[in-house]
Structures are given as C-alpha cells and as structure tokens.
Amino acid sequence: MAEPIVLTSHPTDTRPKLVLASASPRRLELLQQIGLDVDALLPTDIDETPQRNELPRSLAQRLSGEKAAAAVKTMGYQPRLEGSYVLAADTVVAVGRRILPKCEDIEQAEDCLRLLSGRQHRVFTGVTLITPRGAERRRLVESRLRFKRLGATEIDAYLASGEWRGKAGGYAIQGLAGAFAVRLIGSYSGVVGLPLYETAALLAGEGYPVLTPWFEGA
C-alpha cells in the first residue's frame, strides 16, 4: 500500500483537502501554477498495460479512473485525508491507433523519436475527480502535436540527456523536446500532464474553491 506524501498541514484551515493521485512533479507544479495547494500526493500502483484492441483515448480515460479509485481506497486507511477531493490523470501518446510506451530504456525512446520525427501525433490526457461525497467526474483532452524532422545528431543528443526516461512517447514537451515542436493544437498543459482549464472547471463545478487562493494573494 502506498503511503501518502503529505505536503501541507493546516489543522485550522476550513479549505477542503486536495489529494493528487500521482507522484509526478509536473502535475504538482501545474496545480501550484494556478494557486492550488495539494495536501498530499498519493501515488498508485496499477497495471498500465493497454487492453486488447484498446484505443488510446479509452486507455487514458480508464487509467485516470483506476488511479483515482485506487487512491480513494488507500485513503480509507488514512483518517487525516478524510473528506478530500481526489484528482488523478493519465497521459497517452499515440500515432494513429498505436499507443507509444512510457519509455524505460533507450531503445524504446529511440524508436519513439524516430516514429514521431517529422509527423503529427496525438496526446490524450484523461482527468478524473472523485469528490468527498464519492461523485466521480471525468474529462478527456486531445491535443495534436507535430515534431520537426529530427536528424541523427538531434536524436542522439536527446537520448543522451536522459529526459525521455519514464515519459509517454519518450519526450517531455516542457523540457528540451520543446525545441522539436513545430505546431501544437490543443492544451499545452494537457501535453505536459494535466490540462489546467478542464481540471479547474471540474474542481469548481464540484464546489472546490479554486479562486479563493487568488484573493489571498497565493
């Protein structure tokens, strides 16, 4: 069972708690960008293997839902997180129906970069919110991104950077790979890992005080 990583402790704060079902520093930074304090990170350990004939968009939706549900189950053993909003997301990179891996070795990353070179691909990010009342709300964001044609030296340099490790499709748009992006149609933050417009709308729609920190100068 994963132990939560507690980030804040406000015993007298009336603000509802927010739990991020992820250990991703990118997603945490995106939430902080719009003034949201995350009370705890609760990484989940689920099987992310695509099901037979599963489409990329379906995979992103399913995994975000499973991550949120797993976090809620774990929270049952954590009284201090009772009454929290739970937020989860999953990002899938695809070329057509082909789902690209979250690269763990350099051969995978090289294959991905060569496939993405000079062509358009799609990035699907599923977001799931489970409220303190147990209501579940979901969004799916699709973005289209085109890379420049990559030369052998560029691919070798990017592989040497190690930035690809653990990244869907073998790249991080917010990092060095930003130099490869010719055109993006959709949500930049969604490609990074958490679409901020849709996430804020989900939270606000379920009564979470998204704007309150803005008034407080957060």
Q: Which residues are catalytic?
A: 90
Written as six digits, the tokens of 75 are 């929270």
DSSP E strand boundaries for the chain: 5-6, 18-20, 40-41, 85-95, 98-99, 120-130, 136-147, 181-185
Beta bridge partners, 88, equal 128
Q: Which residues contact 140 (CB under 8 A, 6 or more apart)?
A: 57, 60, 61, 124, 125, 126, 127
Helix 106-116 and helix 152-161, axial crossing angle in degrees, nearest 10: 140
- Nearest 5°: CA angle at 101, between 98 and 106? 125
Residue for token digits 């719009």?
34
